[in-house]
Amino acid sequence: MNFPSNKILIVEDEKLPRNVLQKILIKLGYPVESAESAEKALKILESEKIPLVITDLILPDMDGNELCKRIKKINSESVIYALSGQIAAFEPAKLEEIGFDGYMCKPVKIYVLKRAIEGAFDRIDKKRERQSVLLSKA
């Protein structure tokens, strides 16, 4: 895994929640990319390695479950969080089985979002450290 930054990709078809999330994440100090569709998100991820993706589960062009599977095919090391106003309709075990690393309910509280992101980047940093150690021993 070789992510150049702590950038976050937001995939949300609704403009207002997408913009609000983007502003919050920027205030928290993260570089952010956003996509209003699954297809746009996939195009971004094919050209840029982004370690953390936060995606709505209900998108007009593809459901979040399929998007998660496709992201994992592009980069299996990406951390992916599901975000939905209807999270109760999805089984946590099924989300994990599909490849999600966690999930949040909309509207997400800032402290929940911040903790989830910090946890994701802690995991990513630990993976980076392990890879560095392995490469230095090679």
3-state percent helix, strand, coil for the chain, nearest multiple of 5: 50, 15, 30
Give domain limits for the chain: 8-137
The pLDDT of residue 134 is 78
Superfamily of chain region 8-137:
Response regulator (3.40.50.2300)
Which residue, among 132, 104, 89, 88, has the nearest Cα to 8 in the 3D structure? 104
Place of tokens 């980069």: 75
What pLDDT digit, counting tens, does each position of 5-56 carry? 899 999 999 999 999 999 999 999 999 999 999 999 999 999 999 999 999 9
Helix (H), strand (E) counts: the chain: 5, 5
∠ Cα 1 10 66 (to 5°): 75
